[in-house]
């Protein structure tokens, strides 16, 4: 396989250089910023979920390491454009390792996250058809990403626009957006159905999950669509802004889901129940964590598949040292609770 580089145009203007270099610089800056956000989220996960399942830990840390590799590769390209090749038009139009960091690594990270969400949906709904569809779409966009990487490696030039490259980009980005849309719609539908069957704090939990699902699914789908439109319609480098940060959006959405368990559980401690003795001031007692557990069991009975969100572990982690202990509550005289 011969690798060639289509030479840049001979009549490159200052405006062409600005619209080519500017989006690349912005994309790299956003890429590093989102990596910082992801690093913070991984650290929060490490501190708060030390007893999480081994597979969850492997998933989180694998995605994190892949994101680091993607950022290092993109930074290598930036050095070639803005440092080693400063002032060279040929260097500016060369894509260097873009064939690896944008289509291949980004698609691989997206596929991991999408398949994980597909597995969650299967645990939630037991729908093999729906989870299989998401898995196939994830593998389809991964195949498109690998194909894009091959085309870009063979002709590592910004001006290369072969029919095979355009088709592969369309498969990768459209398949990714479609998978995200299916995930968001299906999760929203089944969570809404479960929401109507629960009350109290667990209703707030489902509401938070709904908002989280819609927000993360919408962001990744829109980013993929914008990337596709800019690549197909624009003759500048605007597509590289969304293209180089797309994988970071997937990774952060995954960590938001994991860490949100802590937020949902800790918000429970702010919901205080009182038993009044009819007098002012004294006689108000915070209900023990047993009521929280009974609410959780009621929630699971109404929507048993949602227990895969590991609410038990999150509730347990949030309850340690934050609610009154059972011994403290038992120490309260019984006549304080029965006085009228």
**How does pLDDT run across 130-179, given as a tens digit for each residue?**
999 999 999 999 999 999 999 999 999 888 888 999 999 999 999 999 99
Flag whether the pTM goes above 0.85: no
Six-digit token string for 146: 């690998």
Average pLDDT over residues 102-119: 96
Looking at every residue in the chain, the average pLDDT score rounds to 80
Indicate the residue among 209, 236, 268 that finishes a domain. 268
Tokens of 175: 């398949």
In tens, the pLDDT along 57-103 reads 999 999 999 999 999 999 999 999 999 999 899 999 999 999 999 99
Give the distance from CA 58 to its chain's centroid. 16
Question: Within 10 A of 83 (CB to CB), how many other CB atoms are there?
Answer: 9
- Helical packing angle, 163-195 and 105-125, nearest 10°: 30
CB atoms within 10 A of CB 9: 12
Task: Output the pLDDT for position 261.
Answer: 81
3-class SS at 82?
A: helix
Which band of pLDDT confidence, cut at 50, 70 and 90, is reported for residue 335? Answer: very low
Distance in Å from the first CA to the final CA of the chain: 89
Does residue 250 carry a pLDDT above 90? yes
218-246 pLDDT, tens digit each: 899 999 999 999 998 877 788 999 999 99
Same domain, 102 and 250: yes
Total domains in the chain come to 2
Indicate whether 128 and 219 sit together in one domain: yes
Q: How sure is the predictor about 287, in pLDDT bands with cuts at 50, 70 and 90? A: very low
CA-CA distance, 71 to 35, in Å (whole number)? 8
Question: Domain range holding 69?
Answer: 14-268
Question: Does one domain contain both 227 and 333?
Answer: no
Of 67, 64, 65, 71, nearest to 45 by C-alpha is: 64
Pairwise pLDDT comparison (332 vs 315), residue with the higher score: 315
Residues 237 and 281 grouped into a single domain: no
Among 245, 268, 291, the domain boundary falls at 268
What is the number of residues in the chain? 340
d(CA 274, CA 283): 9
Nearest to 315 by CA among 332, 337, 290, 340: 290
């Amino acid at each position: 396989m011969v690798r060639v580089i289509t030479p840049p145009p001979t009549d490159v203007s200052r405006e062409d250089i600005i619209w080519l270099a500017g989006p690349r610089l912005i994309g790299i800056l956003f890429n590093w910023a989102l990596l910082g956000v992801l690093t913070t989220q991984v650290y929060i996960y490490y501190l708060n979920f030390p007893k999480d399942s081994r597979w969850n830990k492997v998933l989180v840390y694998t995605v994190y390491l892949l994101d680091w590799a993607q950022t290092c590769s993109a930074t290598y390209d930036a050095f070639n454009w803005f440092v080693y090749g400063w002032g060279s038009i040929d260097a500016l139009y060369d894509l260097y390792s873009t064939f690896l960091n944008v289509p291949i690594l980004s698609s691989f990270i997206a596929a991991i996250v999408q398949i994980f969400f597909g597995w969650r949906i299967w645990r939630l709904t037991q729908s093999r058809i729906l989870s299989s569809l998401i898995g196939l779409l994830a593998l389809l966009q991964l195949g498109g990403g690998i194909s894009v990487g091959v085309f870009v490696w063979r002709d590592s030039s910004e001006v290369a626009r072969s029919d095979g490259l355009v088709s592969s980009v369309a498969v990768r980005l459209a398949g990714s957006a479609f998978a995200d849309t299916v995930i968001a719609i299906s999760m929203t539908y089944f969570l809404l159905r479960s929401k109507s069957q629960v009350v109290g704090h667990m209703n707030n939990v489902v509401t938070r999950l709904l908002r989280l699902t819609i927000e993360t699914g919408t962001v990744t789908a829109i980013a993929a669509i914008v990337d596709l439109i800019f690549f197909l319609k624009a003759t500048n480098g605007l597509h590289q802004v969304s293209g180089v940060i797309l994988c970071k959006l997937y990774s952060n959405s995954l960590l938001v889901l994991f860490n949100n368990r802590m937020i949902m559980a800790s918000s429970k401690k702010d919901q205080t129940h009182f038993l009044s003795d009819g007098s002012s001031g004294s006689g108000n007692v915070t209900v023990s964590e047993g009521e929280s557990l009974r609410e959780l069991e009621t929630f699971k009975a109404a929507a048993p598949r949602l227990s895969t969100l590991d609410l038990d572990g999150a509730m347990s982690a949030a309850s340690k040292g934050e609610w009154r202990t059972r011994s403290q509550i038992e120490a309260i005289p019984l006549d304080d609770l029965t006085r009228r």
